Structure 1
Amino acid sequence: MNDSPLTHLILTLAGLSLVAVGGGNSVLPEMHRQFVDVAHWFGDAEFNQMYALAQVSPGPNVLVVAVFGWRAAGYAGAVLGPLAMCLPSSVLTLVLGRLWHRFREAPWRMRIAAGLVPVSVGLVLSSGAVLAGNQDTNLMALALTTVTVIVTAATRLNPLWCLGAAGLTGLMTSLL
C-alpha cells in the first residue's frame, strides 16, 4: 500500500464520492475519521476551522475538500481532492441518469428515491454531530449548540440568526 498522503486523499475522496447521498457534507464524519483519526493530518480544531473557512468561501460546499487536500498534500491535493470527490459521482450520475429517468414511474424506483431521503438526512445530521462534538468542550458551548438545534428544528427562523446569536454570546462570555 502506498503511504503517500496524496494517494490516501484521492482514494478516500473517490470512494466517499460514491456514497455522498445528500452532498459532499454528508460524508464529513468519514472525512474526519480518515483525515484526523487515521492519517493524523490535523486535529479536531483544525478540521473544524478548515471546514468553517471553506463554508464562508463562495462556491459549493464540497470545496471543503480543496482545503483538506491542500493541508494534506499541498497544491496537488488542493487540485486533485475536489476532482476525486466530484468525478466518480459525476460519471455514475451520467451513466445512471438516463436509466433512472427511463424508469421514473416504476414502483421500485420511487421506493429507492423515498428511501434515500432519510439516509441523506441522517448523513447530514451526523456531519453536524461530528462538528459540534469537536467544539462543544464546555457547558456554554453545549448549551449554545442545543438551543440552536432546537430553535432551527422547531421554527422557520433562518439558522444564520442562531449562528450570529451564538457567536455574540461566545464573544461576550470570552470577554467576561
Structure 2
Amino acid sequence: MEILKFLWTIFYINLFTIGGGYVMIPLLQREIVDHYHWLTNKEFIDSIAIGQLTPGPLTIMNAFIGYKVFGFWGSAGAVVSTYLPSIIIVTIVSRYYVQFRNAWIVNASFQGIRPAVMGLLAAVAITLGKESLVDIPTALIALGSFSLIAFTKTSPTFLILGAGILGALIY
C-alpha cells in the first residue's frame, strides 16, 4: 500500500500546484523526504540533478524516485501520476477558458499566485543550497551558473553538462 501513498502524493501535488515543475520541488521534498522518509535529502537532490540532464526533468525525477523506492511499477505509476492531473486540468480549463479568461477573479487570483510561486522557488533555492553548497568550488559553480542563466542565453543543458564536467575535474 506504500506505493499507492507514493502515487497519490505525486498525483495531488501535480494536481494542486500552479506555476510549473520547480514549484513542486519543496512540496515533493516535504512529502518524500520529511514526511514519508522514502529518500534522504541527498538522494532527493540527486534525483533533481538526474532529471536536469533529460527532457521533462520533473517527470524523470518522479520516475527516478518511483523506481528507487518501488521498482518498475513505482516508476511507471509516477509518470502517470505526473501527467494525469495536467490532462484533467487542461480538459476542464479548455472547455471554459474563453468564457472566463477576462474575468476579474481570474486576473486577481493570478496577482496573488505569482508572488507565491516566487516564494516557493526561493524556498527551492535555499533548500538545495543548504545541501549542495558544501565548499568554495560548489559555491563558485552555483554563482557562475546563476550568472550564465541570468545574463546570457546559455542553454541550461550545456550549463548542466559543463557543471558536471567541472565537478568531475575538481572532485
Report the TM-score range of the alignment, normalised by the length of the smaller protein: 0.7 to 0.9
Match of 2:89 in 1: 92
| Mean Cα deviation higher: 106-115 or 64-73 | 106-115
Query: Structure 2: how far apart are the matches of 1:104 and 1:17?
Result: 22
Q: Once the two structures are aligned, what percentage of the paired residues are identical? A: 22
Separation (CA, whole Å) in 2 of partners of 1:64 and 1:131: 15
Q: CA deviation at 1:65?
A: 0.8
Is residue 39 of structure 1 aligned with residue 23 of structure 2? no
Q: Hey, what's the Cα distance between the residues in 2 that align with 1:148 and 1:103? A: 40
Partner Cα distance (1:166, 1:56) in 2: 11
Q: CA deviation at 1:115?
A: 3.4
Question: Contact 1:5/1:72 (CA < 8 Å) preserved in 2?
Answer: no
Query: What's 2:11 paired with?
Result: 14
Structure 1's 21 and 71: CA in aligned 2 closer, same or farther, altered over 3 A?
same
Call closer, same or farther: CA 1:97–1:115 in 2, change over 3 Å: farther
Residue in structure 1 matched with residue 102 of structure 2 by the alignment: 105
Please point out which of 54, 79, 82 is paired with 2:79. 82
What is the aligned partner in structure 1 of residue 127 from structure 2?
130
Task: Decide whether aligned partners of structure 1 residues 110 and 151 sit closer, same or farther in structure 2, where only a CA change above 3 A counts.
Answer: same
Structure 1 residue 151 displacement after superposition: 5.0
Matched residue type, 2:63: A
Q: Secondary structure, in 3 states, of the residue corresponding to 1:18?
A: helix
Give RMSD over aligned pairs.
2.6
Gaps of 5+ in 2: none
User: Do the aligned residues in 1 keep the contact of 2:48 with 2:57 (CA within 8 Å)?
Assistant: no
Matched length:
170
- SS state of the match for residue 21, structure 1? coil
Unaligned 5+ runs, structure 1: none
Partner of 2:152: 156
3-state SS of paired residue (1:40): coil
Q: CA deviation at 1:79?
A: 0.9
